[in-house]
Structure 1
Amino acid sequence: MEIIYKLEDFPNPGDRELSQGIREINNTNYQDALRYFEKSIRYGNEYALLFAGVIYLSGFGLQDRDPPKAVSLFKKAAAEYQNWYAHYLVGVIYTEGDVGVLKSNPYGTAWMTVAAKRGWYDAMAHLGVAFHERDKAMFWLRKVVENDNNPNGLIEDGPVYLFGNQMFLLNTNRVKKQIIDSIRTDRCSNLISPVKCLRVDLAISQCDDTRHIMLWDVLSTKKSSNVAVCQLFIASIYLDEDQYYRPDYNSGMYWLKKAAKNGSATGCLSIGLLYERGNGVEQNYVEAMEWFRKAYEIGGNPETTFRIGNLYYHGDGVERDCKMALFYFQEMVDLVDDGEAYGAMGYIYRSGKDGVPKDEDKAYECFAKAAENGVATAATEIGMRYKEGLNVKKDLKKAYDWYEKGALMGCPLAQYGLGTIFLEGAYQGEVDLDRAMEWFIKSDKGGFDLAGFMIQEVEKLRR
């Protein structure tokens, strides 16, 4: 990545130092760059304030980040030079909060509103997402999506400039296509501010080089910035239901397809889910799979991987193929610890179908992982194994512990299992009809039919 800045023939005071600072950024010498920017600031250079503020905000080349120092520099640029991008930066830092900067939505919104009224689309996007009032949100979101200048493909950006100033051209010709695509994918489904970009929990920030490039990309102004995200939010407004509005699936689908056209994996996934569930459209698993595959090709959304695996697992829209399902579920859990995916893998290994060898040990491991991630039925599966001695040594204490985990997570079958343990006196050697009845009642309320019969049996024993 390179910031291209050409000095005028007759530069203003501080411009030479600004130019030298930018040269040091291009060489990733951020400490040296900061020294030049601070010299330039002493000459009264407007954009040296922004560049220095970005370095303090990011902490690149420094021992620690210093958001309060960054805010003071951005405020100076806003006050002394009426720099509207500086207004946006102050606004987003206060809206989201940062180290040493107390979060204040009203204060941050006031700063961003000034920038938005001056035409800064990043500020408009953040305001559109922040407002809970439907009309206010729509007002700003629609202004951003007006930048969608290509009805049949990706938005044509043209040259990209930092801070919206044509003096600072952002050249990414030497950046690997994989990195550019990764950043674009992330920004097409998530509203990423400079503050969010710098948080360590953002997946893309695991690579420092990518994070540096992404920060400068976020600080640039281009037509495609946040358009797909705003289209997603407009879709969500139409699809949500509250006391005043019913879902408008036609409008929601229209805007989801707009976002999908602009490279949003979340847009593709959301369309697939509407078809899979039959929400606002006729249920169509084939169509759902097509949209899930589009989202998968774009990347960046692990849930897509699970949805494809789930269709293969159940044979919905495709011929059932547990081997293919297992491939996608495994890919999912390699990305994130997902209880549902682990649970499905457990059932596949337990049944051993479609070319997948039966493997009780792997099934147990997957059920245990699923239970750790909050899947009640998986805890119940393990409880049943220990109670009956299925492929494990019979252990009523462990059976009780696993049933209890599933029962407390609301699984009716686990609640039934606990009831049988207390009824039979299988754990600690004592029959406890009261506790058995307690768990059978909970299981019955949860819809497990056999529990109703057991309630009658306990009542007979009480007589």
Structure 2
Amino acid sequence: MKNIILSVADIRVVAEQGDVDAQNKLGLIYLRGEGVEQDYSEAMIWFLKASSKGDANALFNLGSMYQKGEGVEQDDAKAFKRYRNAAEQGHAEAQYHLGLMYQKGEGVEQDSAQAVQWYRKAAQQGHADARTMLDRMEKKGKEDIRTMLERRHNESRSVSPDPVKSARKRSAVIERGPGAAHYNMGLIYHNGEGVPQDDAEAAKWYLRAAEQGHAEARYNLGLMYQKGEGVKQDDAQAVKWFRKAADIGHIDAQKILNMMAEEGAVVPQEDPEAEERHRNGADQEYADAKMIYNKLKGIARDNNEALERHHKPDEPLDADAHYNLGLKYLFGDGVPQDFTEAIKCYRKAAQQGHAEAPFDLGGIYKEGIIVPQDNVEAIEWYLKAVERGHKKAKTILDTMYREGNGIPQDDSDPAKWYRKAAEQGIASAQYNLGVMYRNGEGVPQDDAEAARWFLKSAEQGIAKAQLRLGLMFHNGEGVPQNDTEAVKWYHQAAQQGDSDAQYNLGLQYFFGDGVPQDFTEAIKWYRKAAQLGNVEAQFNLGGIYQEGVVVPQDSAEATEWYLKAVDQGHEKARYNLEVMSLNRDKMKNK
């Protein structure tokens, strides 16, 4: 069967009969200059005709023209709008471009969660570039969580008797006093801060400081001999420097010596100094010293054996200890790496009231690090963190609830998930719960309850909630009718750029509802809304300029706003344009 090749004239005939496929095809022909002279204006006309009927391909092509500035002024916001309209119809290429715009913050506020959502939709349709971008973003998300956990790990080490920790605590504030300069140089080389990391060089500087009586340098030198870092491993030398540090009041050195004496390692059990050091260290987190010593000696080759040997039943680990132990298992720091044990320790720390543990667990489950990805589980842990005042957890939850991530789609009681978060002050959850009560979705329809949750969300600055609350006050739904309150909430949302609120505020000023009538103010807000693409505001401005209501009559201005409304499918605007055209023809024929 031969391919049928249609001429441009043939395609135009079909396009003029209203066939959207032909209209879109004709637009592409003029856009690319295929068999005709390239003509962006003609391309735009045909894409507009097809897009007015909702054709996804035409919407995508319009978006592309706005994004590239082909025949029109480059406008990312307009491109974004067309891409979104096409993407919502399942157009894979539009979904991919929408993801790019969300990722880069072009034409819309940057939003990685939205970018991932649209990349995923496109990838599910086989879009290779979307799959690549999705993989990159998901990998980055996991790397961000890993980076956070590594930072936590390093911070946890910095609160234990470990030279790396000590270095980090002191790197920002240079110590002064005998041996301080040499000690600081030791820290710099030990941590590789501005120089290549070099344990041997660090040991040299610590030795110089230690010989000048610097307690921390003596202690760090003992640790280096203990572990064989930068020097040959030598327990006797380690004990020597621990003792010298302990003799001038170094608490951690006292604890280490106590443990070594208790284990009979190098320090004899009958060491007469051990009892005194034991008393000195007993009131200074002696249980932590046991865990630290386990790390230094590498005793914890077997978790259960290590805990049995060094953890007494009458000395339960507290939340911080469980949290830090979880980090050690996670990174294999002094114990065999064991993700199951890490999660177990995190859970115990969380149950004991630790704020960071549930936050970290939330991130682990959200990104699927060392466990299967599970947004529902992530939300549970983030909620626990929020209960303990964790601000970042609240921010993350707000995003998750705004996007609906982690809310089971098949749950028989979806409201419970929003209620949990709403009661913890998550603004987006409060808004969504308000919507559920307003619409009777999953809960009995209840305008008063809807208004209550909208108010809580609105007070936290959520523009959509402020708009909804304004509407309820204007209509007296769930709250007493009060246009003054309506104006108050419309205004707050309008200032955040909500075009519906701007349009409604314009109406209030136009009719003097809740505010003194003010046409100038009304037109100001109509214009703001119209410039953001609010179709009713565009239509109203067209009517105002067409009729010369409260402003001088201006057909050109009216036509401009009507055309913008027609571009969005507003039939009354299309009718008014036709009327204006007929009137012009009549005037010409007179």
TM-score (structure 2 length as normaliser)? 0.40
Query: Quick one: which amino acid aligns to residue 563 of structure 2?
Result: E
| 1:320 equivalent in structure 2 | 481
* Distance in 2 of aligned mates of 1:294 and 1:308: 10
2:399 — aligned with what? 190
Which residue number in structure 1 is paired with residue 192 of structure 2? Answer: 38
Contact preservation (8 Å) 1:346, 1:366 = yes
Shift of 1:12: 4.3
Q: Which moved more, 1:279-288 or 1:141-150?
A: 141-150
On the 8 A contact 2:361/2:381 being kept in 1, the answer is: no
Find the partner of 2:499 among 339, 343, 346. Answer: 339
Larger RCO: Structure 1 or Structure 2 (Cα < 8 Å, ≥ 6 residues apart)?
A: 1
* Pair 1:141-2:364 in alignment: no
Instruction: Say whether the 8 Å CA contact 2:379–2:406 is kept in structure 1.
Output: no
1:141 deviates by: 3.0
**Does 1:410 pair with 2:569?**
yes
The 2-side partners of 1:20 and 1:337 are apart by 46
Distance (Å, rounded) in 1 between the aligned partners of 2:190 and 2:485: 57
Aligned to 2:566, the other structure's residue is in SS state helix
CA distance in 1, matches of 2:364, 2:555: 57
CA shift in 2, pair 1:38/1:363, >3 Å: same
Kept after mapping to 2: 8 A contact 1:232/1:267: no
Say if 1:15 and 1:251 are closer, same or farther in 2 by CA, change over 3 A. same
Task: Give yes or no for contact 1:188–1:263 (8 Å, CA) kept in 2.
Answer: no
Given the alignment of the two structures, is residue 391 of structure 1 paired with residue 553 of structure 2, yes or no? Answer: no
Who is 1:155 aligned against? 387
Shift of 1:387: 1.0
Which position in structure 1 is the counterpart of 2:440? Answer: 278
Pick closer, same or farther for the CA change 1:289–1:147 going to 2, 3 Å: closer
1:233 corresponding residue in structure 2 = 405
The one-letter amino acid of 2:513's match is K
Deviation at 1:311, TM superposition (A): 1.2
Letter in 1 for 2:192: E
* Paired letter, 1:384: G
- Residues 283/141 of structure 1: CA separation in 2 closer, same or farther (3 Å cut): closer
- How far off is 1:187 after superposition? 4.1
Q: Which amino acid aligns with 1:234?
A: G
Shift of the alpha carbon at 1:85?
Answer: 6.8
Contact conserved, 2:499 with 2:529, CA < 8 A, in 1?
A: yes
User: Per the alignment, do residues 143 and 184 of structure 1 end up closer, same or farther by CA in structure 2, a change over 3 Å counting?
Assistant: closer
2-side partners of 1:382 and 1:410: how far apart?
A: 16
Aligned partner of residue 413 in structure 2, secondary structure: helix
Structure 1 position 423 matched with structure 2 position 573: no
User: Are 2:308 and 1:308 equivalent residues in the alignment?
Assistant: no
Aligned amino acid, residue 464 of structure 2: E
Aligned counterpart, 1:364? 523
- In the other structure, the counterpart of 1:263 is 425
CA–CA distance in structure 1, aligned partners of residues 584 and 402 of structure 2: 59
Structure 1 stretch 114-123 or stretch 370-379: which is displaced more? 114-123
Contact in 2 for aligned 1:20/1:36 (Cα 8 Å): no
Indicate the structure with greater helix content.
Answer: 2
The 5 A counterparts of 1:127-138 are 129=366, 137-138=373-374
Distance 1:315 1:84 in 2: 54
Aligned CA distance change for structure 1 residues 393 and 137 (closer, same or farther; 3 Å): same
Cα distance in 1, alignment partners of residues 426 and 478 from structure 2: 23
In structure 1, what is the equivalent of residue 167 of structure 2? 17
Q: Whole-Å Cα distance in 2 between the matches of residues 426 and 393 of structure 1? A: 22
Q: 1: CA distance between counterparts of 2:342 and 2:436?
A: 38
Alpha carbons of structure 1 residues 406 and 130: separation in structure 2 relative to 1, 3 Å: farther
Alpha-carbon distance in structure 2 between the residues aligned to 1:185 and 1:419: 53
Structure 1 position 35, deviation (Å): 8.8
Q: How does 1:44-59 map to 2 (within 5 A)?
A: none
In the alignment, structure 2 segments of 5+ residues that lack a partner are: 1-154, 175-184, 203-324, 332-337, 347-357
Mapped partners of 1:126, 1:378: distance in 2: 43
Instruction: Please say if residues 413 and 442 of structure 2, whose CA atoms lie closer than 8 Å, have aligned partners that are also in contact.
Output: no
Does the 8 A contact of 1:360 with 1:391 survive in 2? yes
Distance 1:143 1:326, change over 3 A: closer
CA distance change for structure 1 residues 347 and 15 in 2, over 3 Å: closer, same or farther?
closer
**In structure 2, C-alpha distance between the alignment counterparts of 1:407 and 1:312, rounded to whole Å:** 31
| Per-residue deviation, residues 371-394 of structure 1 (Å, max 9, x unmatched) | 011101101101111111111111
CA–CA distance in 2 between the matches of 1:329 and 1:86?
52
Following superposition of structure 1 onto structure 2, how do residues 168-247 of structure 1 map, counting pairs within 5 Å? 185-190=394-399, 233-235=405-407, 237-238=408-409
In structure 2, the CA distance between the partners of 1:36 and 1:281, relative to structure 1 (3 Å rule), is same
Query: What SS is found at the alignment partner of 2:516?
Result: coil
For 1:405 and 1:302, locate their aligned partners in 2 and report how far apart those are by CA, in whole Å.
25
CA distance in 2, matches of 1:21, 1:413: 69
2:511 to 327, 333, 351: 351
C-alpha spacing 1:415/1:230, structure 2 compared with 1 (3 Å): closer
Cα distance in 2 for partners of 1:7, 1:126 equals 23
Q: Work out the CA distance in 2 between the residues paired with 1:337 and 1:427.
A: 42
Shift of 1:144: 5.7
C-alpha distance in 2 between matches for 1:280 and 1:388: 47
What aligned pairs does 1:43-82 form with structure 2 within 5 A after superposition? Answer: 43=199
Alignment CA distance shift 1:340-1:116 (3 Å): farther
Cα 1:277/1:423, change in 2 over 3 Å: farther
The yes-or-no answer on 1:253 pairing with 2:404 is no
- Partners in 1 of 2:562 and 2:329 — Cα distance? 56
Residues 329, 422 of structure 1: CA spacing in aligned structure 2 closer, same or farther, 3 A cutoff?
same
Other-structure match for 1:289: 451
Counterpart amino acid of residue 17 in structure 1: A
Say if 2:434 and 2:449, in contact at 8 Å, map to a contact too.
Answer: yes
- Kept in 2: contact 1:13–1:43 (CA 8 A): no
How far does the alpha carbon of each residue in 1:36-64 deviate from its partner, in whole angstroms, 9 at most, with x for none?
8434954499xxxxxxxxxxxxxxxxxxx
Q: Distance in 1 between matches of 2:487 and 2:364?
A: 42
* Alpha-carbon distance in 1 for matches of 2:586, 2:373: 58
Following TM superposition, by how much is the alpha carbon of 1:118 offset from its aligned partner in structure 2, in angstroms? Answer: 4.2
Whole-angstrom CA distance in 2 between matches of 1:331 and 1:295:
13
Residue of structure 2 equivalent to 1:242: none
In structure 2, the residue matched to 1:65 is none
Q: Which residue of 2 aligns with 1:452?
A: none
Aligned pair in 2 of structure 1 residues 233, 429: CA closer, same or farther (>3 Å)? same
Checking the alignment, whether the CA contact within 8 Å between 1:125 and 1:141 is kept in structure 2 is no
Q: Does structure 2 conserve the Cα–Cα contact (< 8 Å) formed by 1:387 and 1:394?
A: yes
Q: Do the aligned partners of residues 185 and 331 (structure 1) sit closer, same or farther apart at CA in structure 2, a change above 3 Å counting?
A: farther
Instruction: Supply the distance in 1 between the matched residues of 2:579 and 2:330 (Cα, whole angstroms).
Output: 63
